[in-house]
């Protein structure tokens, strides 16, 4: 079984010691590790090159004896921790997604309930409309029945008129024959009486037709009144629909204006966020500049300290091969003096070179800072070329800095060698052991003074840059506050616009239903109005025909009465 263990090394009396493993956890699966309870320590014969405290993987058998070599666990632990971090981030992301799903489901449930209530209200409204349509269809059926009744009355009137005309023609013929003969026999009188009885039976009864026509006209008037009420109600619906449509159009325009303002605010917010990012980058660049200036200030202080210590003996912590003092003792005095002057000149030249390169390094640092700030503010098109130039300059700066470090180290070594030569020369010239200032030392006061001026200038730059950083941090915090405030306001406005958009969609659907109902009513009422108009156009001539039939019936009745009198007079015994 694979265990995670800590290497423990205990030193013995004579330098040797034993190695032990402290078991920390055991593997139960690919990503499942179980802590080892208590403090379980086992001996290890070979710990390899692992130091005490190192974490290793050990493969142990059932008796907890190490099998094979120990394996370094740091890299694997880093991977496990990285995987755990990714799992944790993924789990956090899934938790956020689950929370969003919960909120979405809650919102959908609320929206579904609202939709159900709206559907119920729409269902009731549809039921009302269907009932109204059923009443309209019933009225339409009644009008069709009335139209059939009028058609039946018209046909009856026409048939009665034709029968009367036929009978009246026959009667006129009998009357003419009767007038021509001057007398009739019993058979003729019986036939004539039968015709008169038939005419009396089939005589037109305009009163009955007038009663039916009056009833139909009353029903038509009632239908017209009902149709007028429905037309007035339809106009109310139409007016309400037009008002709602106007309000909806104004609300849509307001919503479009709101969306336009929100998009404009989003553009401004994106600009502010870009400004914040630029200021953050500028702040980071200035902080890097400040760090570099402080490093340069420290380097100048070290260099000034080193130059001040020249001639006062070996530099502290100097190392390297010592000078062969016996050879210096045997060297001619003139040659030794020339050698000391040569070393002094070389040291002075080296110091001048280091100072010049230090100034060059400072200038490159300033150019580097300026280029970094320019790259932070540059557009996407110019940033690539600036970053390439920045990389070249950083490489040059790093190379010069490394070179300067080596030259400083070489300068200290030269200083140490010169001090050894100068000390031997000092003693061989008969001077006391303690060296004093003399013409044999190098006068480095101008260089030290120049370094002091550079330190003061850098210190002033550091103070100025610190003030700029404090001001920039304040401005950056103010910008961040503005961005957060505007982002919060835009989020609230976005939610409000979404709510208004949803409400307008609902209102648009309601208004569309209203217009559908208005158009359906308009179509039905137009059809009913056309039929009523047609029926009135049919009943008006029928009323005139009934008046004419009344006159004809009255004249026919008079004629039948006269004929009956004549027949009675002719058939009476003398």
The structural domains of the chain, with segments of one domain joined by +, span 2-72, 133-256+506-570, 267-501
- Tens of pLDDT, residue by residue over 85-143, are 777 778 788 888 888 888 878 877 877 887 778 777 767 766 776 676 676 667 667 66
Break the chain down into helix, strand, coil percent, rounded to 5: 80, 10, 15
**pLDDT value, residue 507:** 83
Whether 56 has a pLDDT exceeding 70, the answer reads yes
1-10, 137-146, 226-235, 289-298: the lowest-pLDDT one: 137-146
Per-residue pLDDT for 50 more than 60?
A: yes
Per-residue tokens: 298: 């420290």
Q: How many CB atoms lie under 10 A from the CB of residue 500?
A: 16
pLDDT confidence of 73, banded at 50, 70, 90?
Answer: confident
CB contact set of 442 (below 8 Å; sequence gap of 6+)? 310, 311, 344, 347, 348
Count of beta carbons in the 10 Å neighbourhood of residue 154: 17
pLDDT digits 0-9 by tens, 331-381:
888 888 888 888 888 888 877 887 777 778 777 777 777 787 777 777 777
The residue that leads in pLDDT, 562 or 260, is 260
Alpha helices by DSSP H, listed for 182-205, are 186-202
Q: What percentage of the chain exceeds 90 in pLDDT?
A: 0
The domain 133-256+506-570: what is its CATH number? 1.20.1050
Cα separation values, 494 from 8, 110, 257, 482, 549, Å? 62, 20, 13, 18, 81
pLDDT for the residue 177: 65
What pLDDT score was predicted for residue 33? 80
User: Which candidate, 569, 556, 478, places its Cα nearest to that of 196?
Assistant: 556
Orientation of helix 74-181 relative to helix 445-570, angle to 10°: 20
**pLDDT at residue number 530:** 82
For residue 316, what pLDDT is reported?
A: 42
> 262-315: per-residue pLDDT in tens?
988 888 888 888 888 888 878 887 787 788 777 777 766 766 666 665 444 444
What integer best gives the mean pLDDT of the chain? 76
Question: How sure is the predictor about 185, in pLDDT bands with cuts at 50, 70 and 90?
Answer: low
Give me the phi and psi of 88, to 5 degrees please. Answer: -65, -40
Task: State the pLDDT at residue 387.
Answer: 83
Helix axes 333-377, 206-308, angle to 10 degrees: 170
Q: What is the pLDDT of residue 199?
A: 67
């Amino acid at each position: 079984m694979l265990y995670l263990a800590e290497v423990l090394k205990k030193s013995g009396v004579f330098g040797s010691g034993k190695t032990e493993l402290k078991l920390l956890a055991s593997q139960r699966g690919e990503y499942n590790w179980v802590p080892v309870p208590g403090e379980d320590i086992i001996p290890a014969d070979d710990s390899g090159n692992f130091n005490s405290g190192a974490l290793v993987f050990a493969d142990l058998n059932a008796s907890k004896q190490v099998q094979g070599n120990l394996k370094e666990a740091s890299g694997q632990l880093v991977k496990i921790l990285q995987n755990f971090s990714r799992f944790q981030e993924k789990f956090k992301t899934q938790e956020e997604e689950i929370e969003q799903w919960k909120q979405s489901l809650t919102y959908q449930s609320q929206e579904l309930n609202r939709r159900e209530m709206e559907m119920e209200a729409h269902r009731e409204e549809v039921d009302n409309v269907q009932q109204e349509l059923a009443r309209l269809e019933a009225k339409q059926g009644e009008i069709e029945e009335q139209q059939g009744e009028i058609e039946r009355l018209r046909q009856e009137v026409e048939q009665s008129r034709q029968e009367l005309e036929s009978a009246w023609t026959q009667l006129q013929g009998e009357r003419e024959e009767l007038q021509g003969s001057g007398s009739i026999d019993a058979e003729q009188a019986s036939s004539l009486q039968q015709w008169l009885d038939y005419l009396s039976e089939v005589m037109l009864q305009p009163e009955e037709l007038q009663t039916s026509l009056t009833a139909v006209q009353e029903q038509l008037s009632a239908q017209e009144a009902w149709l007028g009420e429905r037309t007035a109600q339809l106009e109310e619906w139409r007016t309400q629909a037009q008002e709602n449509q106007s309000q909806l159009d104004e609300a849509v325009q307001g919503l479009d204006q709101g969306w336009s303002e929100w998009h404009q605010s989003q553009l401004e917010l994106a600009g502010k966020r870009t400004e914040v990012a630029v200021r953050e980058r500028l702040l980071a660049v200035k902080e890097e500049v400040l760090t570099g200036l402080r490093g340069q200030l420290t380097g100048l202080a070290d260099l000034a300290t080193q130059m001040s210590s020249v001639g006062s003996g070996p530099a502290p912590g100097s190392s390297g091969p010592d000078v062969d003092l016996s050879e210096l003792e045997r060297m001619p005095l003139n040659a030794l003096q020339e050698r000391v002057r040569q070393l002094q000149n070389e040291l002075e030249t080296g110091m001048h070179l280091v100072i010049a390169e230090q100034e060059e390094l400072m200038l490159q640092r300033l150019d580097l800072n300026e280029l970094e700030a320019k790259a932070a503010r540059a557009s996407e098109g110019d940033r690539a070329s600036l970053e390439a130039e920045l990389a070249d300059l950083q490489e040059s700066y790093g190379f010069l800095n490394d070179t300067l470090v080596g030259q400083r180290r070489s300068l200290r070594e030269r200083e140490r060698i010169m001090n050894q030569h100068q000390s031997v020369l000092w003693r061989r010239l008969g001077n006391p052991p303690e060296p004093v200032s003399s013409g044999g030392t190098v006068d480095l006061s101008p260089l030290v003074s120049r370094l002091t001026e550079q330190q003061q200038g850098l210190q002033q730059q550091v103070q100025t840059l610190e003030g700029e950083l404090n001001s920039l941090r304040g401005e950056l915090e103010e910008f961040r506050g503005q961005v957060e405030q505007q982002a919060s306001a835009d989020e609230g406005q976005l939610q409000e616009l979404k709510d208004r958009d949803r409400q307008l969609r609902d209102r648009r659907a309601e208004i569309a239903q209203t217009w559908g109902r208005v158009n359906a009513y308009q179509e039905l009422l137009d059809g009913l109005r056309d039929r009523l108009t047609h029926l009135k156009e049919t009943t008006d001539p029928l009323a005139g025909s009934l008046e004419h039939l009344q006159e004809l019936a009255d004249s026919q009745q008079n004629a039948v009465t006269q004929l009956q009198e004549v027949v009675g007079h002719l058939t009476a015994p003398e």
